[in-house]
Amino acid sequence: MENFSLNCELVKKFIIEFIKEEVHSNGFNRCVIGLSGGLDSVLVAYLSKEALGKENVKAIIMPYKTSNPASKEDALTAVTHLGILHETIDITKIADTYFKKEKEMTNIRMGNFLARSRMSILFDKSREFKALVMGTSNKSELILGYSTWYGDMAASFYPIGDLYKTQIFKFAQFMQIPKKIITKKPSADLWPGQTDEKELGAKYIQIDSILTLYVDQRKTKDEIIALGYSQKIVESLLNRIKKTQFKRTFPPVAKFSPRTFGLDFLYPHDLGK
Amino acid sequence: MKIKIALAQINPLLGDIEKNREKHLEFIEKAIENNAQIIVFPELSITGYRLKDFTMEVALPANSNFFNPILKQSKKIDIAFGFVERGKDNNIYNSAMYIENQSIKSVYQKIYLPTHGMFQELRFMGKGEKITTFKTIYGNFSMLICRDLFHPSLLFLTYAQKTDVVLGMSGMPLRGVTGKKPAIQETVEKAIDTYTNFFSQFIVFVNRVGFEDGLGFYGGSFVGTPLGKKLAFAGILQEKLTFATIDLEEIYKKRQLFPLAREEDLNIVQDNLRRILEENYGKF
């Protein structure tokens, strides 16, 4: 397995400065976070509070009827611990009104719909609270595309988007996040019994080792397998990266003018901030 | 000669040259109040770094009136800063300007523009070709910009021209967070340690701070001296103005203690370079 050591003090300082500058330079003081009670969103809440102050951070908790009750409890534990603002909006009625009209709702369709309903509420709340929407995606899920496009991926920026999940477990301890939130099985909690590792087919330490070998060290598939990783898992993960590339790019525009968005109209995101 | 140098570790706004000029004037004012004789700003301090297509919209000729308020202050202090230059040849350059007593002493066009991974400089700017030493009232100076500092050949060329003080003006993003310091900071400090030791020069390293599109410039400005001292450490990730008083006498002392400069033979370098170019690149 690869080494995921981290200078937590340095990373904390860097991310806090990043949050401050992104929020303030965009003309805001506040942020909203969709707080599921999972480790990633809780970690972002902890970092946001340190960067912006508790009065400027609002957690929106959005359970559905099948959500694990422990998730909401964990979210409330974090909120109480941090003293940040929060609001709970049950999305069961909103989602079920739609689901009832549809005949064959699969887990994936339902999961995506729930993620996008939460996104819709979160962006509305950001307008109400005059705030930016914090992204809570980590590097493992961004690179695997293991998230809903325009759902939980929708955000103003990603403060923990360059940390693998394995690093997040360590970093969360440093940030003194309650142990029960760190040690529970990572899950998108989109349907009962769902866990990341079951769905991705391997433990996070394996997944992240393969990812860092491929992404950061630019090893080939064969080189990674030769190191002793399962061919099936390596192939499945690398396939996921390829198949989900569309989620990480600006959608193509059919080009015929001299300057076209995404191709040769290349302005930085942060221009004039 | 002793010189008090101010290191302006600033966070320029991306693309807002008026506000950045204001920030330069504020830092210059503070440096003057502290009796500094020279103030050094980072790479592209007037424009910000990750401009992409906006590069063309902030490009200015070195003699533009826009710089007049800064030029005016150079009666009281020498000033080095970075800007996007609209060159006389109608090309755009990542440049640095040194001004003294209301006149431009030198404009340096960055030679090595990184264009890989997160860097896209050659896509928007042209490559400089000339590295010079210029005389100031304080001694012989050269300017290098960011990636240039990772090419020992350029440091050697300043040494060969008897540069006393190299101004290394940078916009280096942080990467590598496993060690005690950011990995990039370790790399820079090791390089500067080596150059100052073997070339017996001073290197004034001024790196910017702030975030642009997720890139976080780490700062960590300092002055490296020929005797291996590190002065005026600015720390990381915060705007700061620090001061270092350097004594050029150190160069003399170092060159007597460790007389590499006396041994240096530029003819051997030239003969071998010619041969290498002929044998490997088919040109002269």
How far from the centroid of its chain's Cα atoms is residue B238's Cα?
19
- Whether residue B15 and residue A271 make contact (CB cut-off 8 A), yes or no, is yes
Query: How far B20 CA lies from chain A's nearest CA (Å)?
Result: 11
**Number of Cβ within a 10 Å radius of residue A141:** 22
B178 and A6 within 8 Å at the Cβ level: the answer is yes
Could you tell me if A30 and A59 are in contact, meaning their C-beta atoms sit under 8 angstroms apart?
A: no
Is the pLDDT at B284 greater than 90? The verdict is no
CB-nearest partner of B52 from A13, A17, A266: A266
Taking CA–CA distances from B239, the nearest residue in chain A reads A17
Mutate: best of B174, B211, B237, partner A, most A CBs <10 A: B211
Query: Does B54 contact A22 at a Cβ distance shorter than 8 Å?
Result: no
> Is the CB of residue B51 less than 8 Å away from at least one CB of chain A?
yes
- Is the CB of B13 inside 8 Å of chain A's CB atoms? yes
CATH tag for A8-248 (out of 3.40.50.620, 3.40.50.2300, 3.30.70.2860, 3.40.50.10490): 3.40.50.620
Mean pLDDT, range B222-234, rounded to an integer: 97
- In DSSP terms, A128 is beta-bridged to none
CA distance B173 to chain A (A): 11
Q: Which of B188, B159, B153 is nearest to B172 (CA)?
A: B188
Distance to chain B for A51, nearest Cα, Å = 14
B210·A21 Cβ contact <8 A:
yes
Give me the pLDDT at residue A192, please: 84
pLDDT of residue A188: 86
What dihedral do alpha carbons A144, A149, A153, A156 form, nearest 10°? 130
A→B contacts (Cβ < 8 Å), by residue, are 3, 5-7, 10-11, 13-14, 17-18, 21-22, 157, 264-273
Local confidence band at B59 (pLDDT 50, 70, 90 cut-offs) = very high
B168 falls in which pLDDT band (50, 70, 90)?
very high
Q: Is B210 on the interface with A (CB under 8 A)?
A: yes
Helix (H) or strand (E) holding A59: strand A57-61
DSSP state of A252: P
Contacts of B211 in chain A (CB under 8 A): 17-18, 21-22, 270
**B178 and chain A: CB distance < 8 Å anywhere?**
yes
Distance from CA of B186 to the nearest CA of A (A): 14
Predicted pLDDT of residue B141: 98
User: How close A215 comes to chain B (CA, Å)?
Assistant: 12
Domain ranges of chain A: 8-248
Nearest residue on chain A to B16, judged by CA atoms? A272
**Interface contact B211-A272, CB threshold 8 A:** no
Interface of B with A in 118-177 (CB under 8 A): 174, 177
- For residue A16, the chain B residue with the least C-alpha distance is B237
Q: From the list B14, B16, B178, which residue is nearest A268 (CB)?
A: B14
- Pick the residue from chain B with its C-alpha nearest to A15: B216
For B82, the enclosing helix (H) or strand (E) is strand B78-86
CA of A40 vs chain B CAs: smallest distance (Å): 19
How close, in Å, is residue B179 to chain A by CA atoms?
Answer: 6
B212/A272 CB distance under 8 A: no
B14 touches A: beta carbon within 8 Å:
yes
Would the CB atoms of B213 and A268 count as touching at under 8 Å? Answer: yes
Please name each of the domains of chain B with its CATH number. Answer: 2-281 (3.60.110.10)
**What is the reported pLDDT for A273?**
65
Whether residues B54 and A271 touch (CB distance < 8 A) is answered with yes
Query: Region B227-245: what's the mean pLDDT?
Result: 97
Instruction: Report the gap between the CA of B165 and the closest CA in chain A (Å).
Output: 32
Question: Could you write out the DSSP letters of every residue in A67-118?
Answer: S-HHHHHHHHHHHHHHT-EEEE---HHHHHHHHHH-S---HHHHHHHHHHHH
* B56 → chain A, closest CA residue: A267
Of A5, A7, A271, the CB nearest to B14: A271
Give me the phi and psi of A185, to 5 degrees please: -70, 130
Classify each residue of A67-92 as buried b or exposed e, where b means 16 or more C-beta atoms within 10 Å of its C-beta.
Answer: bbeebbebbbbbbebbebbbbeeebe
Closest Cβ–Cβ partner in A7, A13, A21 for B180: A7
- Average pLDDT value for residue range B61-89: 98
Determine whether the interchain pair B53/A13 forms a contact, defined as Cβ–Cβ distance below 8 Å: no
Tokens 């069961």 correspond to A92
Contacts of A50 (CB under 8 A, 6+ apart): A12, A16
Q: Which residues does B243 contact at the CB level (< 8 Å), separation at least 6?
A: B4, B5, B6, B7, B31, B34, B36, B232
Q: What is the DSSP string of A4-17?
A: ----HHHHHHHHHH
Q: What is the C-alpha separation between B105 and B92, in angstroms, rounded?
A: 20
pLDDT at B283 over 80: no
> Span B129-157, mean pLDDT?
97
Q: Is residue B214 packed enough to be buried (19+ CB in 10 Å), middle (13-18) or exposed (0-12)?
A: middle
| Residue of B223, B229, B272 whose CA lies nearest to B244 | B223
Q: What is the mean pLDDT of each run of 10 residues along chain A (273 residues)?
A: 95 98 95 97 98 98 95 96 98 96 92 97 98 98 96 96 98 97 91 89 96 97 98 97 95 94 91 73
Torsions phi, psi for A41 (to 5 deg): -70, -35
